Chains A and B, each alone.
Chain A
Amino acid sequence: MRAGRWLIGVMVLGWLAACAGGPATPTWSADELRVLHSLSLDALKPLSPDPSNVVADNPTAAALGERIYFDTRFSGNGAVSCASCHMPERHFTDGRAFGVGMGTIPLNAMSLVGAAYSPWQTWNGKNDSQWSQALIPLENPLEHGGNRTLYAHLLAEHYRAEYEALFDPLPDLADSSRFPRNAGPVDSPAASAAWERMAPADRDAANRVFANLGKVLAAYERTIVPQPARFDRYVASLDADGRPQGEAVLSADEVAGLRIFMGKGQCMNCHNGPRFTNDAFHNTAIPGAPDVPIQRGRIDGVVRVQADPFNCLGAYSDADPDECTALRFMVTESDTLLGGMKTPTLRNVAETGPYMHTGQFATLAEVIQHYNSGGFAIQGHNELTPLALTDEEAAQLEAFLHTLTEEE
């Protein structure tokens, strides 16, 4: 009897020691563990090839693309480069609500980290490749503000050898009656009139050089891939039973926020996979930004990408039509296209504000407040439902988002 009581006492003590003494580490179920691993960078597959761009995975092309990416000579005023709005030190964003080049474009510059994985580029997906996307800011008077023959001349003057090592020789640009310094289908009466006067074959030659410029830039962009964050280290620290091993990588609040992200917050409906995006278009009832046009989203992107002469099916693409799967299976009619924007990556999101397609929200707290309220669609069909997060839960969710920043 006595021995029995003793034994029980020892057992209770042992249990207390194991439970109270051990860290109050949360455990994850097998299902949850599977989901956690699906979010980890370890789940990121190698980039699939881009059949529309023969130099997509050519390191020489990427090296040339990198130099041009930072080269402000490739603009109408000699002062704008891709890095003006996509700064490497800001995870390839610019910290502003609107992009500022030669003018101000009323759209928020997107992070380029991992963007090469996406079948659609820009908020409304008006491009089906990064090389065709790059051509848009180059010609937009508010961004680089240049034109097709200007870029051909600049390539000839600064990168002829590098260019011709990759592609057919540049056309003979010396004859300025055939290739004026400034000509292209752009928003400048002089340059567009000069473009109209060019022979069709010369326009085609200029188009090809222009496309190749996009292709080297895209080859560089494909090297901008996400780097591990604290969150990835946390997932790596979980044992097979979903229990963190070693020193705690995430705080209790961050783990609680992660749990909300995966569950009550429904964030993973759209921000899923290792880049925290499904690359699909969703209407999340984002309010319009003051004094700028309302963006209609995917409904316009569909029309734009179909009409784009530089799309995967166009004359300057290197792909077989069969390989243009994004366009072949594109949703062209649906009541979910109006107001649909591409889900952005959440990697590094704590450092890429302001947020949303026109920088509507300055802080992550405002973003979470929007999701919590469920929003009110100014157009189309709102896909959100109110979340009923407490203030504490909202703060925990925000804390979790901070764990997605790359560590160095």
Chain B
Amino acid sequence: MRRYSLLLGVLLLLVAAIGGCGGAATPAMQMSSNAPADTDFGTTRASDGGLFQVTYTPALEPIAINELHQWTLHVETPEGAPVDDAVIAVSGGMPEHNHGMPTEPQVTEALGNGDYRVEGMQFQMGGWWTITFVIDAAGQQDSVTFNLKL
């Protein structure tokens, strides 16, 4: 009886290893997005020089390709004080494909409390994207780059 259960176990393992029926060794889809393993895909990041803490919130959740949409960008100091009156430039692209966005997004409105409306956001393909905001406030400039996986 013990031999029998052993055999049964081996057989079950075998079936499991083969992966059941069909045996379709489906290769993973290669959507050509190989961002470095330690890439931070967070929606809140400190700016490169540490001047600002920045958060983005897309109006489209989840972000879909080929759809024009808006983001809200929140800028504050590392201590958490909202940064108003900033002048912000937006740019983006796909590091692996060497191209930019299909649109030229703009910060169109300061909403107060450190919030800014970003209009004209659009992505034309899936994969690894980077979006950079260059922020000028109170005579100081710093930039922050977000990574996105679409």
Contact = CB atoms under 8 A, between A and B. Distances in A.
Interface in B79-111: 97-106
Interface stretch (A209-217, A310-318, A327-335): A327-335
A331 B3 contact: no
A381 B120 contact: no
Contacts of A280: 102, 124
Interface centre among A1, A4, A330, A381 (most CB of B within 10 A): A4
A264 B7 CA distance: 41
Given A8-B11, A19-B21, A270 B4 contact: no
A329 B104 contact: yes
B22 A4 contact: no
Chain B contact residues (Cβ within 8 angstroms of A): what range?
35 or more
A12 interface: yes
A27 B122 CA distance: 32
Contact of B65 (A7, A22, A272): A272
A240 interface: no
A35 interface: yes
B17 interface: no
Contacts of B106: 328-329
B63 to A, nearest CB: 13
Contacts of B21: 15, 18-19, 22
B28 interface: yes
Contacts of A243: 22
A19 B15 CA distance: 11
Given A18-B21, A268-B31, A329 B11 contact: no
A26 B7 CA distance: 30
B103 A330 contact: yes
Chain A contact residues (Cβ within 8 angstroms of B): what range?
35 or more
Contact of A263 (B30, B102, B104, B124): B30
Interface of B is mostly: loop
A299 to B, nearest CB: 14
B27 interface: yes
A128 to B, nearest CB: 13
Contacts of A58: none
A26 B102 contact: no
A4 B120 CA distance: 68
B29 interface: yes
B66 interface: yes
B140 interface: no
Nearest to B99: A336
Nearest to A270: B125
B24 A269 contact: no
Contact of A272 (B28, B66, B120, B122): B66
A263 B29 contact: yes
A257 B49 CA distance: 48
A32 B29 contact: yes
Contacts of B20: 19
B34 to A, nearest CB: 13
Nearest to A282: B99
A328 B120 contact: yes
Interface of A: 1, 3-4, 7-8, 11-12, 15, 18-19, 22, 24-29, 31-32, 35, 243, 259, 262-264, 266, 268-270, 272-273, 278-282, 325, 328-332, 334, 336, 381, 383
Cβ-closest 5 pairs across A and B: A329-B120, A4-B4, A19-B21, A280-B124, A278-B124
